[in-house]
Structure 1
Amino acid sequence: MTEHPPPPAYGATPGPQTGARPAELLDRFLARLIDGILLAVVNGIIVSAIVVSTVMGDSGGFYTASTYAASAVSAVLTTVINLAYFGYLESSRGQTVGKMVMKLRTHGPGGGNPTLEQALKRNIWMAAPILGIIPVIGALGGLIQLVAVIMIAVGIHNDTVNRQAWHDHFADETRVVKEG
């Protein structure tokens, strides 16, 4: 008869244990706030430069017909920049700039860095600005992001063991842990 290890405790994450404790909601919020400020500056510079050069005519005036084009370009660029930032840094380093400052790290299900796919899945809600390419409906992008943030905060708060929310579960059980 073969002996099997005991099942994990209720709420425990299967897989290798790193000894790191799950990151608290406040630390995760502050890390995301730092990242949000950094991305707002980067998006503001890049998107403004591209949109202004796209929208401005030779005479220096704005074309009224290109207002839609400007908002569509802005929506696409913002979405690409946000997903590239979180996807690349979380999959290659396990940390964004905000997480580095707050001494947090994102772990994939095996304990190492998440894969690019997992990092993109856990941050998919950051793609809501892409709705800006659809007139009228584009305004829903901000509302969708707000609802996602509230659901994430409630999920992290309610999971007192692992501090995981829907986006962590959707991304194959990623975890954010406090280092040191």
Structure 2
Amino acid sequence: MTEQPPTPAPGFDPAAGSYSGARAATRPAELLDRFLARLIDGILLAIVNGVIVSAIIVGAVMGDSGGFYAASTWAAGAVSAVVSTVIYLGYFTYLESSRGQTVGKMVMKLHTQGPGGGNPTMEQALRRNIWMGAGILGIVPFLGILGGLAELVAVIMIAVGINNDTVNRQAWHDHFAGETRVVKEV
């Protein structure tokens, strides 16, 4: 059985290597550009998340009055897991659905498009980034490790999928979100 080449996304002209229509000067974003955009976003979010989560943990430890250190530490960890998940999912979901770009994508001149070529809907953006929600497992002691491993596996699968799809540069999360795609402005 021979493997069929991937079908180009709607509006993609393989000869020109770009999309036609409103964003005619675009092409599917390469893995390195997408990685650098995520790295920029990751650094920005790590700073914001670190400040907020540190305040939660310090508040829990400083507020501990006698004998309940383990309980307050667990509660701080659980709240931190929820807050971190909300920050990361909220950032990517909101910015991709409202602007089509996160800060990292703006810097790298990338744009997330929905199946019709405009910005993805809130649901599509959430589905596209849902893998970052695995961190919520941190509310249960020791399951946070599994959440971190699940996120790592998702990232590897996304990178392999983008690298293997030489036409559209889409991975499982783009397909799960209804055929979203990330394009580079040229």
TM-score (norm 2): 0.86
Task: Look up the match of 1:11.
Answer: 7
Query: One-letter code of the match for 1:161?
Result: V
* Alpha-carbon spacing, 1:156–1:10, altered in 2? closer, same or farther (3 Å): closer
- Render the CA deviation track for 1:55-99: whole Å, top value 9, x for unaligned: 322669982321110110010000000011001100011000000
**Aligned with 2:175 (options 169, 175, 178):** 169
CA distance in structure 2 between the aligned counterparts of 1:60 and 1:21, rounded to whole angstroms:
60
CA distance in structure 1 between the aligned counterparts of 2:178 and 2:53, rounded to whole angstroms:
32
Aligned Cα root-mean-square deviation (Å):
2.0
Task: Look up the match of 1:4.
Answer: none
Q: Find out whether 1:65 has 2:71 as its counterpart.
A: yes
Q: Which moved more, 1:34-43 or 1:16-25?
A: 16-25
* Alpha-carbon spacing, 1:10–1:80, altered in 2? closer, same or farther (3 Å): closer
Within a 5 Å distance, the mapping from 1:88-107 to structure 2 comes to 88-107=94-113
CA distance in structure 1 between the aligned counterparts of 2:75 and 2:89, rounded to whole angstroms:
21
Q: CA deviation at 1:54?
A: 3.0
Q: Secondary structure at the match of 1:178?
A: strand
Task: Look up the match of 1:80.
Answer: 86
CA distance in structure 2 between the aligned counterparts of 1:151 and 1:10, rounded to whole angstroms:
17
Structure 2 unmatched ranges of 5 or more: 12-18
CA distance in structure 2 between the aligned counterparts of 1:30 and 1:53, rounded to whole angstroms:
34
Q: CA deviation at 1:49?
A: 1.1
Q: Secondary structure at the match of 1:40?
A: helix
Give aligned pairs, total. Answer: 172
* Alpha-carbon spacing, 1:52–1:61, altered in 2? closer, same or farther (3 Å): farther
* Alpha-carbon spacing, 1:106–1:65, altered in 2? closer, same or farther (3 Å): same
Whether the 8 Å CA contact 2:60–2:73 is kept in 1: the answer is no
Task: Look up the match of 1:30.
Answer: 36
CA distance in structure 1 between the aligned counterparts of 2:73 and 2:65, rounded to whole angstroms:
17
**Aligned with 1:157 (options 147, 156, 163):** 163
Query: One-letter code of the match for 1:164?
Result: Q
- Find runs of 4+ consecutive structure 1 residues off by over 4 angstroms: 58-62
Within a 5 Å distance, the mapping from 1:127-142 to structure 2 comes to 127-142=133-148
TM-score (norm 1): 0.89
**Identity of aligned pairs, percent?**
78
